[in-house]
Chain A
Amino acid sequence: MTMNNQGRPTRPEDTASYTPFPTHTGNRALEIAEPLIFEVGDFEGTGVDLPKAEGIKPRIAGFDRQHAPHLPGLAEPEAMRHYVRLSQKNYAIDMGLFPLGSCTMKHNPRLNEKVARLKGFADIHPLQPQSTVQGALEMIDILAGWLKELTGMPAVAMSPKAGAHGELCGMMAIKAALIARGEGETRTRVLAPESAHGTNPATAAQCGFTVDDIPADETGRVDLAAFKEKLGPDVAGIMVTNPNTCGLFERDIREIADAVHEAGGYFYCDGANFNAIMGKARPGDLGVDAMHINLHKTFSTPHGGGGPGSGPTVLADSLAPYAPVPFIIQDEDGFRLVEDIEGEAKDAFGRLVAFHGQMGMYVRALTYMLSHGKDGLKQAAEDAVLNANYVLKRLSAEMTPAFDGTCMHEALFSDEFLKDTGVGTLDFAKAMIDEGFHPMTMYFPLVVSGAMLIEPTESESKQGLDQFCDALLGLARDAKSGDQLEKFKAAPIYSPMRRLDETQAARNPVLKWTEDAPSMAAE
């Protein structure tokens, strides 16, 4: 048993339960069990050499922290190894296909990273004089121009810090517009299709609206009749994802827009799947009033293990006056940030973030746009849709497509093909890990039983897709054969960790390391 300096086991002895010859360390070549920094680090030490302090008498009015924070400092080689070892326990888009539907894991060009680190972008302060950041303001203005042209919308609020934050921006603009119309108190209901991202109803609720679900029809799209029945004078608007989370284009989008407008409401479009139609179709031509764009999905800024995202929100003329501060205008003196809610931006619904949004993401997104150009963006959307349909067609030989026909940029299956095999959706997904692939999105959208949503994106080669399809077809056949149940139940076998107990984590939450608490790991 390897113990740390607090006497906690850092790795259990039976890691070798599935290896023929246990090692003395418990490690297995490149697969190294990595303790927490708190178990190896020196609590008195530091891995940073700082200039010497002069010993000036502090002026902190008795607010001294009595002891330095109780956190270890690792020497640089220790820290480097620790985090490099941790990194090796992660799957990433640079390693292989990451088919998480609705998450859009596409290639992250390194040129984006290089440009984002230019000192003229990374080393400027949000509150330094605007005369000294004209290039930054111009850059944001150019990016805004691309977003407006690609979506056919006249205005854009740049500051939302993630897709869900962009939804909040759009719905707040709608709320502000309703208040300005004198209908802030009466229009309180927001319609949200069942296939909507869970953020949509959560956002509507956070803006003080009540949420009314709209069912999907048998084709996987908004049930038009049910939707129209729900319209009324208390409807603030509808939130539709298009292309939707079933991987389908809402072909009645204009009828939906017209009907909601006629009823006096607004049309919010969740633009999370804009990558399927960039350069191919513009939401502004289809009657949309507000839509956020996930720069990290559509325009290739890296997801970074879950953020940071960026969610600029395009707005129609009807909502543009209510856009939050700050925004950029150009006049004879150059580019200027408008920040005064009492003055020039008097109709603005307020402020969403302290500063100007995700500059680092803007730089990456614009770099990607310039690299692709309008021809390349269109080709990327076409390839994303082509790849998804190729996967849909090939996998349909053994798996159950959720709906008939073609799809947009993601292919949706149900777990019908696993019925009576004893293999569950989760088992199937975990078996994909052993084949060297990240699993697809599971159990979403909710309108399909045991949903499996696969989004290959345009980054995948035909050869890569064939390998992926061959593996999934093989797994489907294995499941149906009935004699490989054990493999699925044990999966994943070859990953750094085997199936993790999520129930225990939720039942008895351990959310930080503490010195005296026993580890959960087997003794």
Chain B
Amino acid sequence: MRYLPLNDKERAEMRGVIGVGAIDDLFRDVPADALNPALDLPDHKSELEVEREMMALARKNNAAGDTAFFVGCGAYRHHVPATVDHIIQRSEFLTAYTPYQPEIAQGTLQYLFEFQTQVAELTGMEIANASMYDGSTAAAEAALMAKRITKRRKVICSGGLHPHYEAVIRTNLELIGDEVVFAPSNPEGQGGLTDMIDEETSCIIVQSPDVFGHLRDLSALADAAHEKGALLVAVVTEAVSFGLLKSPGEQGADIVVGEGQSIGNAINFGGPYVGLFAARDKHRRHMPGRLAGETVDADGKRGYVLTLSTREQHIRREKATSNICTNSGLCALAFTVHMSLLGGTGLRQLAILNHENACKTADALSAISGVELLNDSFFNEFTIRLPKNAEAVVEELARQKILAGVPGGRLWPGNEDLENILIVAATERTTSDDIDRLASGLEQAIKG
């Protein structure tokens, strides 16, 4: 076995040193009838054979790069500079562990400190943590954090929140008896949220740009929430939007969570991704997850350590702020490297390119007879209504290697009001040719 350095002679020598005859003498605590089960699995294969087998599976998928691609809704296909993947494949980052020994983990700790600084600046918040599993779990953790801060047990979710995020929040809260109130999902707009906030509300969770692509005014909601002693949790599923849009922090958000996949990370069929989590400094002890902090070493040199760990599970056990004991380290590194290359200026340019391509795509599609654009404002994603079931149209276009977007039926199964809508995303990777192919394909599909 190519990954196992011991040979049989050494194994025998080592058993001799230990003083056991057979290897199974070391497994004697396992019930004898359960030891060495017969397994219906193949034996080991050569590197060549494994590669061949995995490539065969990979080839059965229609990769985004081989299509005209417009799928978004929480995961976005951006260009990642070659430098990023090179850096994250360096052994010292790739094969390191949680930086429990800071003296020999400064590489990880310093990039986490840089990541925290970048996320705080992008979100307009005072502090950020060293990342979460993804945007949706970060959103659920934000709801739990708001509960700890306000000591209230009712959460209000905007109807523009990604339905999978809603489901994750609901799963985490309803199981422990908390109340989660949802405004209905409506692609035409969202009103009445402020009226729903009451003295029992711990937080109101609002996504902007929302799942339909609409930009939401968070300031008014923040004021309404604060008036009732509740918090505003802002959700951002497209981190590139930070380059062009007013930050949630500027609009009064108390906690900002986001999906950081767009910066530095591939779409990976849904994971691994990197959750962003930022908050006001006064709430830092309520934050879940890891934090890297600055300090000095014995020589007075500046360095970094994991800090404020008294919030965490390994010290507080059942009283911990959350059960989370990891972060998305390597994905956070990819984010940080890409962001360090872009800088604020580059991110702004990237965001503008995204917006312009989305504007062009929206114009091309809304010019098709029978297609209605539902957005007045958007960033790089918008919603159109088709005269027929969008899921069928998407399947039809997929056969022509056009991945047209996310049909309403995929995100809201069984909701007849939303089955004709299609959510379309463009990024800097979208070409004029892609837009032409989508527009003509869609026109045909609607006629057909």
Supposing A64-B246, A132-B403, A366-B54 touch, asked if A149 and B40 sit within 8 A by C-beta, the answer is yes
| Cα–Cα, bound, A175→B352 (Å) | 47
In the complex, the chain B residue whose C-beta lies closest to that of A76 is B83
A contacts with B, residue count (CB < 8 A): 218
From residue A311, how far is it (CB to closest CB) to chain B in Å?
Answer: 10
A5 within 8 A of B: no
B447: A residues at CB distance < 8 A? none
B345-A68 in contact (CB<8A): yes
B23: A residues at CB distance < 8 A? 382, 385-386
> Of A224-232, A414-422, A479-487, A501-509, which stretch is located at the interface?
A501-509
A512-B303 in contact (CB<8A): no
B98-A305 in contact (CB<8A): yes
Contact of A303 among B55, B92, B95, B177 (CB under 8 A): B95
In the complex, the chain B residue whose C-beta lies closest to that of A371 is B50
B87-A84 in contact (CB<8A): yes
B369 within 8 A of A: no
B65-A123 in contact (CB<8A): yes
In the complex, the chain A residue whose C-beta lies closest to that of B350 is A50
Among B280-297, those with CB < 8 Å from A are: 284, 290-297
Contact of B14 among A176, A249, A285, A462 (CB under 8 A): A462
B347: A residues at CB distance < 8 A? 68-69, 71
Contact of A357 among B1, B41, B271 (CB under 8 A): B271
Contact of A120 among B39, B57, B259, B272 (CB under 8 A): B57
A61: B residues at CB distance < 8 A? 215, 376-377
A122-B268 in contact (CB<8A): yes
Interface residues on B, range: 35 or more
Which of A59, A72, A100, A277 has the most B CB atoms < 10 Å from its CB?
A59
A355-B54 in contact (CB<8A): no
> Of A261-269, A313-321, A470-478, A489-497, which stretch is located at the interface?
A489-497
From residue A350, how far is it (CB to closest CB) to chain B in Å?
Answer: 3
Supposing A90-B107, A135-B61, A372-B1 touch, asked if A353 and B343 sit within 8 A by C-beta, the answer is no
A86-B107 in contact (CB<8A): yes
B245 within 8 A of A: yes
B127-A120 in contact (CB<8A): no
A372-B44 in contact (CB<8A): yes
B448: A residues at CB distance < 8 A? none
A162 within 8 A of B: yes
From residue B21, how far is it (CB to closest CB) to chain A in Å?
Answer: 12
A118: B residues at CB distance < 8 A? 54-55, 58
A60-B345 in contact (CB<8A): no
Supposing A56-B359, A63-B245, A505-B293 touch, asked if A135 and B104 sit within 8 A by C-beta, the answer is no
Which of A61, A79, A113, A308 has the most B CB atoms < 10 Å from its CB?
A308
A136 within 8 A of B: yes
In the complex, the chain A residue whose C-beta lies closest to that of B412 is A340
From residue B259, how far is it (CB to closest CB) to chain A in Å?
Answer: 8
From residue A382, how far is it (CB to closest CB) to chain B in Å?
Answer: 5
From residue B171, how far is it (CB to closest CB) to chain A in Å?
Answer: 3
B20: A residues at CB distance < 8 A? 389, 406
A44 within 8 A of B: yes
| Cα–Cα, bound, A512→B296 (Å) | 15
A93-B95 in contact (CB<8A): yes
B108: A residues at CB distance < 8 A? 90, 305-306
| Cα–Cα, bound, A161→B74 (Å) | 17
From residue A460, how far is it (CB to closest CB) to chain B in Å?
Answer: 7
Among A334-360, those with CB < 8 Å from B are: 339-343, 349-360
A136: B residues at CB distance < 8 A? 57, 60-61, 269
Supposing A45-B343, A68-B345, A375-B43 touch, asked if A496 and B61 sit within 8 A by C-beta, the answer is no
Contact of B349 among A46, A202, A349 (CB under 8 A): A46
A139-154 vs B, Cβ < 8 Å mask (1 yes, 0 no): 1001000100110100
From residue A174, how far is it (CB to closest CB) to chain B in Å?
Answer: 11
A371-B328 in contact (CB<8A): no
Supposing A56-B360, A61-B215, A512-B128 touch, asked if A111 and B50 sit within 8 A by C-beta, the answer is yes
| Cα–Cα, bound, A438→B104 (Å) | 8
Supposing A86-B106, A129-B403 touch, asked if A113 and B89 sit within 8 A by C-beta, the answer is yes
From residue B18, how far is it (CB to closest CB) to chain A in Å?
Answer: 5
B319-A205 in contact (CB<8A): yes
A162: B residues at CB distance < 8 A? 133, 324-326
Q: 21 A-B pairs, CB-CB below 8 angstroms?
A: A47-B343, A50-B428, A53-B349, A90-B104, A100-B100, A120-B55, A124-B64, A134-B61, A150-B39, A161-B133, A164-B313, A198-B317, A202-B316, A250-B29, A304-B93, A324-B171, A353-B271, A366-B54, A380-B4, A389-B18, A498-B301
Can you add 16 more A-B contacts, CB < 8 Å, to A277-B30, A373-B44, A406-B18?
A: A56-B360, A69-B122, A87-B92, A89-B110, A90-B106, A91-B96, A119-B58, A135-B60, A149-B41, A162-B324, A303-B97, A307-B331, A461-B5, A498-B299, A506-B293, A511-B293
Nearest 6 pairs of A and B residues by beta carbon: A73-B343, A355-B270, A135-B60, A120-B58, A350-B171, A304-B330
